[in-house]
Amino acid sequence: MLTVITGASKGIGKAIAEKFASQGFNLALCARTESDLLILKNEIESKFKIQVHILSTDVSKKSEVEKFANFVQKLNEKVAVLINNAGVFVQGQVHNEAEGILETMINTNLYSAYYLTKALILGMIEQKKGHIFNICSIASIMPYANGGSYSISKYAMYGMTKVLREEMKPLGIRVTAILPGATLTNSWSGSDLPSERFIKSEDVAEAVFSAYHLSENSVIEEMIIRPQLGDI
């Protein structure tokens, strides 16, 4: 069985990769930095004795997403799980954001998931089995003043997930939106808040695998995960 994860070299993506590897899944991973992917590949393969396939990919570019999709398809393994995790965050407000910020957010946070899902979902439909997780955000349902284009892109990702869920109901494909709040990743580097104030990436990974592990009779359509003390 193969689990495909974008943005897999750090944070939530890395934690999810390690969780699925620990359960015997082979992995197909992408991220921008090849050296980070190589380190992760070596760590996981030596620890869990599964195969990790990697490809350096800038998911903000459609051509590179398509290249990664072709890479996955040529592995000739059935894709059991697709996790659209790659994302970028730039703080700002709609009325004063720099030129091009919206395009960057939409390309990375929405279009990457759209194009990769379109490329891989036909295989899932043929096998009448599969699970797609879209890593959305609390910003997908709760606007905030400095969210700007990030919130716009995450609202769109959440909407795409809900549409896809309806489309896949009769086809045997489960679709889940994961909406984490503030998670201790590089996005919060430099913050002076204590680590206890954040969600752990490993907790998001546990939640994702728990949702996958349900029987095929059931699906968790969406899961909100917040820090115990609430949003930051």
Residue pLDDT, tens place only, 78-132: 999 999 999 998 888 999 999 999 999 999 999 999 999 999 999 999 999 999 9
Q: What is the pLDDT of residues 190-208, one digit of tens each?
A: 667 777 878 999 999 999 9
Query: Which residues, 6 or more positions from 191, have their beta carbon under 8 angstroms from its beta carbon?
Result: none
Nearest residue to 112 via CA among 93, 135, 140: 135
Enter the CATH code of domain 2-225: 3.40.50.720
Q: What is the pLDDT of residue 30?
A: 98
Nearest residue to 152 via CA among 213, 98, 102: 102
| Cα four-point dihedral sign 195, 200, 65, 49 | positive
Q: What is the pLDDT of residue 183?
A: 80
223 contacts 179 by C-beta, under 8 angstroms: yes
For residue 196, what are the CA distances in angstroms to 122, 161, 180, 226?
Answer: 41, 30, 15, 12
- What is the C-alpha end-to-end distance of the chain, expressed in Å? 37
d(CA 153, CA 160): 11
d(CA 179, CA 155): 11
pLDDT-derived band at 187, boundaries 50, 70, 90? low
Question: Percentage of residues in the chain with pLDDT exceeding 90?
Answer: 86
d(CA 161, CA 28): 21
Residue 74 DSSP code: T
Nearest residue to 136 via CA among 163, 156, 116, 114: 156
Q: What is the mean pLDDT of the chain?
A: 94
Question: Percentage of residues in the chain with pLDDT exceeding 70?
Answer: 97
Q: What is the pLDDT of residues 9-43, one digit of tens each?
A: 999 999 999 999 999 999 999 999 999 999 999 99
Domain ranges in the chain? Answer: 2-225
Pairing relation of β-strands 173-180 and 79-84?
Answer: unpaired
Q: Is the pLDDT of residue 69 over 70?
A: yes
Q: What is the pLDDT of residue 112?
A: 98
The residues annotated as belonging to the active site are 150, 154
Q: Give the total residue count for the chain.
A: 232
Pairing relation of β-strands 52-56 and 79-84?
Answer: unpaired
Query: Which residues, 6 or more positions from 26, have their beta carbon under 8 angstroms from its beta carbon?
Result: 1, 2, 3, 50, 51, 52, 53, 77
83 contacts 16 by C-beta, under 8 angstroms: yes
